[in-house]
Structure 1
Amino acid sequence: MTITDVNTVFADEKSAQLSAARSREQAFQARIDRGEIRLVGGNQYEVLTGWDRGERFTVGRNAQGQIDEIIAAHGLDSRADGTIALYASSPAWHGLGQIIPGGTADIDEVLRLGGLDFTVVTTPALYRRDGELREHADQFHTVREDTGAALGVVGRRFTPIQNRTAFEFLQELVNRYDVVWESAGPLRGGRRVFVSIRLPDTVTVDATGINDKIVPYVAVMNDHTGRGTFQCMVTPWRPVCANTERFALRDAHTRWSVRHTAGAASQIKEARRTLGLSISYYEQFAAEETALARTNIAVSDFHALIADIWPLDDEASSRAKTNAASRLGALDSEFRTEVARVGQTAYAAERAITSYLDHVAPRRPGKTMTEEVARATAALVGAEDGRKYDAHKRLMLLTRN
């Protein structure tokens, strides 16, 4: 008979636990040392690199001060089985979701794993009068059939664009270019849903100089609340920090918006046709960005650009002036970071402004989303496209001097 020494077993287990804790602490500290994350206050940290740059998480520690858990402030929806409703071809910063390494080309799998395999119906809006329920003749609710959750209030002409209808037109691009679905999921309980695919050709800016790589994506968002539209956009993302921007070209068709009506399906088919044509614009995009990369810019010119994009009246309030000073400081910081990477050029100036708008500029989230989700949504729907285009247009003038 074998006799177990419980003291030895306990000591071995405790030693293993301490070793694992030390390894976890060392790995976490290594990420800080490499500049991948930073402490922003208390136990909250911010991601500094990668496509998830700017997002935050909280580190929980035990009584001994060792890392106990990492709490992700992801703001994502959950599925009926409790798992996070997100499909991705590579792990996100929060480590959540249904990950298929390398991705999949099967839209049915994307809809299922991303929690988008539900349909939306409209039901008459009811109101109570004299103790009885009555129907509102011209008002309806959009409702998820799987959960019965109300998503929005719409009019009589509203026709839901189902998730599969909204996204399956991209399957042709997936098949034609031999690419995979990158990500998919719902936001705010399914009120908004999104998918993205990565196109095969990487854009290179100034190949003989800074050799900066930009990855082209196609992103689609659909809205079930009645307050938004179906939107499709071409979005260049820089892998180093996931700055997003639409093509800053005068005649590039990079966004389509379709209202939820009976004729929406045919309009989505047209978006598919023009989407294929838009891919050729990447060559022109790379040419313009290369011109910016080969144009030097003085700090004073960068500040003048900021003043033009964010004008401040002489009679502005003290609060407005304080906010402007804070914004200038943040933009200067972004500019210094880009200058260290690509030189003091108009390209660095554009990257700094894009980075500020995507990751730093104050973003007030709605009641049902975190700041991270609000920021990501704003980037996808192009909330700051006007300023990005304005900056690009003004900086391109410098290349012609």
Structure 2
Amino acid sequence: MSITDVNIAFAAEKAAQIEAVRGQERALQTRVDRGEVRMIGSDRYEVLTGWDRGETFTVSRNAEGQVQQILANHGLDERADGAIALYTSSPAWHGLGQIIPGGTADIDEVLRLSGLDFEVTTVPALYEWQGETREHADQQHTVRTDTGAALGAVGSRYMPIQNRAGFVFLQELVSRYDVVWESAGLLRGGKRVFISIRLPETVVVDADGINDIVVPYIAVMNDHSGNGQFQCVVTPWRPVCANTERFAVRDAATRWAVRHTAGATSQIKEARRTLGLSSQYFEQFTDEETALARTDIAIADFHEAIADLWPLDDDASSRKRTNHAARLGAITEVFRTEGERVGRTAYAAERAITSYLDHLTPRRPPTSMTEEIARATAVLEGADDEIKSRAHRRLLQLRTR
């Protein structure tokens, strides 16, 4: 009979735990050193490369400052069984979701796995007045029929677009092009839902150079809270979590939207014709992005472009000058990181500007929002679309110099 020395066993177990912690530290630092991730706040990091570019995660540390856990900021809802309300045809970087290798063309299966198999109805908006229950004639509430959870306050003309009814028109594309549903999920208790499919073509930026591969998707986003439209966008990003949804709207190639009113479901069919422009768009997208990738840019030219986008008056206050310098420093730092990945080009400059606008520019969220939701809302509403378009046009001008 062998006797185990508990002190030796404990020491061995503790040593293994310490080595595991050190391994996590080394792995994280290696990714930082390679320019794959960067710190954007207290224990918060942003992924800079690959499909997950733009995603954020939080590093949980113990009292000694050692890494304990790396948590993906997915922002997705959990189903009743505790599983994340997400369907994806390939494992996402955060390791969450209900996975079917290779995906599926069955929309009912996607809706079930993603937690979208519920309907939305409207109920009267009631209020109490001097002991009497009254109805607000011009308002109603949207409610989930499976849980009874209230989703939002809407006008009297509001008509819900059901998850299945809204997404089923894409089924024709799935059958025609032999593509599969790529991802689906719900956010904020079902107030916002999304689903996407992959288009058959692959876009390659600068095939003979950086060879940056972009895969276009069609994403549908439906809002049941009364604060957004039903939107269908062609996008080079896969919306597998709330962070990625921001990219889906930001990088929309073509966009079609409809309000939640009577007849909206029949109008959705018009989106097929609108989305027919996607192939033409991606041809132009490839040409222009490749041109940017082949245009070297000096740091002085980069700073000049920033000055054009955010001009500073000669009589600007010291506070504005401080903010201007902070913005320039932040964008320049991202540009250096992107430059190491794809070269110091106008393409890297564009990535730096859009990254700053989406993830670093100061936001003042209202009391009902977190900073992450405020950033998502800003991108969804196109708060920075105009300046991004100006940046793209400004950088394209460098080709002719």
> Please, what TM-score do these two structures have when normalized by structure 1?
0.85
* Alignment deviations for residues 258-312 of structure 1 (CA, whole Å, 9 cap, x no partner): 1111111122111123213322321121112222223333333322222222233
Residue identity over aligned pairs, in percent, reads: 65
Q: Which amino acid aligns with 2:311?
A: P
Q: Is 1:19–2:16 an aligned residue pair? A: yes
Alpha carbons of structure 1 residues 150 and 65: separation in structure 2 relative to 1, 3 Å: same
What CA distance in whole angstroms lies between the structure 2 residues aligned with 1:217 and 1:316?
44
SS in 2 for 1:189: helix
What CA distance in whole angstroms lies between the structure 2 residues aligned with 1:44 and 1:285?
32
SS in 2 for 1:111: helix
What CA distance in whole angstroms lies between the structure 1 residues aligned with 2:360 and 2:104?
33
> 2:21 touches 2:68 (CA, 8 Å); kept in 1?
no
> 1:232 touches 1:257 (CA, 8 Å); kept in 2?
yes
> 1:213 touches 1:238 (CA, 8 Å); kept in 2?
no
Instruction: Say which is worse superposed, 383-392 or 36-45, in terms of deviation.
Output: 36-45
Aligned to 2:303: 303
Q: Is 1:53–2:58 an aligned residue pair? A: no
Aligned to 1:266: 266
**Superposition deviation, residue 328 in structure 1:** 0.8
Q: Is 1:29–2:30 an aligned residue pair? A: no
- Stretches of structure 2 that go unaligned for 5 or more consecutive residues are none
Aligned to 1:294: 294
Q: Is 1:139–2:126 an aligned residue pair? A: no
Instruction: Say which is worse superposed, 102-111 or 34-43, in terms of deviation.
Output: 34-43
Q: Which amino acid aligns with 2:306?
A: I
Matches within 5 A, 1:2-401: 5=3, 7=4, 15=12, 18-19=15-16, 22-23=19-20, 25-35=22-32, 36-37=36-37, 44-50=44-50, 51=52, 53-61=54-62, 67-237=67-237, 244=247, 254-365=254-365, 370-376=370-376, 378-379=378-379, 382-401=382-401
> Please, what TM-score do these two structures have when normalized by structure 2?
0.85
> 1:236 touches 1:246 (CA, 8 Å); kept in 2?
no
**Superposition deviation, residue 39 in structure 1:** 5.6
> 2:142 touches 2:151 (CA, 8 Å); kept in 1?
yes
Q: Cα RMSD over matched residues?
A: 3.3
> 1:85 touches 1:115 (CA, 8 Å); kept in 2?
yes
What CA distance in whole angstroms lies between the structure 1 residues aligned with 2:393 and 2:159?
38
Alpha carbons of structure 1 residues 233 and 326: separation in structure 2 relative to 1, 3 Å: same
- Stretches of structure 1 that go unaligned for 5 or more consecutive residues are none
What CA distance in whole angstroms lies between the structure 2 residues aligned with 1:38 and 1:344?
18
> 2:38 touches 2:47 (CA, 8 Å); kept in 1?
yes
Q: Which amino acid aligns with 1:342?
A: V
Higher relative contact order (CA 8 A, sep 6+): 1
**Superposition deviation, residue 364 in structure 1:** 4.4
Q: Which amino acid aligns with 1:339?
A: G
**Superposition deviation, residue 90 in structure 1:** 3.3
SS in 1 for 2:236: strand
**Superposition deviation, residue 335 in structure 1:** 1.9
Corresponding pairs, count: 393
> 2:250 touches 2:380 (CA, 8 Å); kept in 1?
no
> 2:183 touches 2:238 (CA, 8 Å); kept in 1?
no
SS in 1 for 2:215: strand
**Superposition deviation, residue 44 in structure 1:** 4.9
* Alignment deviations for residues 98-119 of structure 1 (CA, whole Å, 9 cap, x no partner): 2334333322222222222111
> 1:45 touches 1:59 (CA, 8 Å); kept in 2?
no
**Superposition deviation, residue 40 in structure 1:** 6.0
What CA distance in whole angstroms lies between the structure 2 residues aligned with 1:184 and 1:127?
36
What CA distance in whole angstroms lies between the structure 1 residues aligned with 2:380 and 2:192?
12
**Superposition deviation, residue 245 in structure 1:** 7.6
> 1:75 touches 1:370 (CA, 8 Å); kept in 2?
no
**Superposition deviation, residue 237 in structure 1:** 3.8
* Alignment deviations for residues 339-381 of structure 1 (CA, whole Å, 9 cap, x no partner): 3333333222222212222333234456565444554565456
> 2:214 touches 2:236 (CA, 8 Å); kept in 1?
yes
What CA distance in whole angstroms lies between the structure 1 residues aligned with 2:129 and 2:136?
11
> 2:56 touches 2:72 (CA, 8 Å); kept in 1?
no
Alpha carbons of structure 1 residues 362 and 73: separation in structure 2 relative to 1, 3 Å: same
What CA distance in whole angstroms lies between the structure 1 residues aligned with 2:330 and 2:143?
43
* Alignment deviations for residues 90-139 of structure 1 (CA, whole Å, 9 cap, x no partner): 33343333233433332222222222211111111111123111111121
What CA distance in whole angstroms lies between the structure 2 residues aligned with 1:14 and 1:104?
49
What CA distance in whole angstroms lies between the structure 2 residues aligned with 1:191 and 1:130?
32
What CA distance in whole angstroms lies between the structure 1 residues aligned with 2:256 and 2:362?
27
* Alignment deviations for residues 5-51 of structure 1 (CA, whole Å, 9 cap, x no partner): 4x358855874574365245414522321334456676555544441
Instruction: Say which is worse superposed, 139-148 or 368-377, in terms of deviation.
Output: 368-377
> 2:378 touches 2:384 (CA, 8 Å); kept in 1?
yes
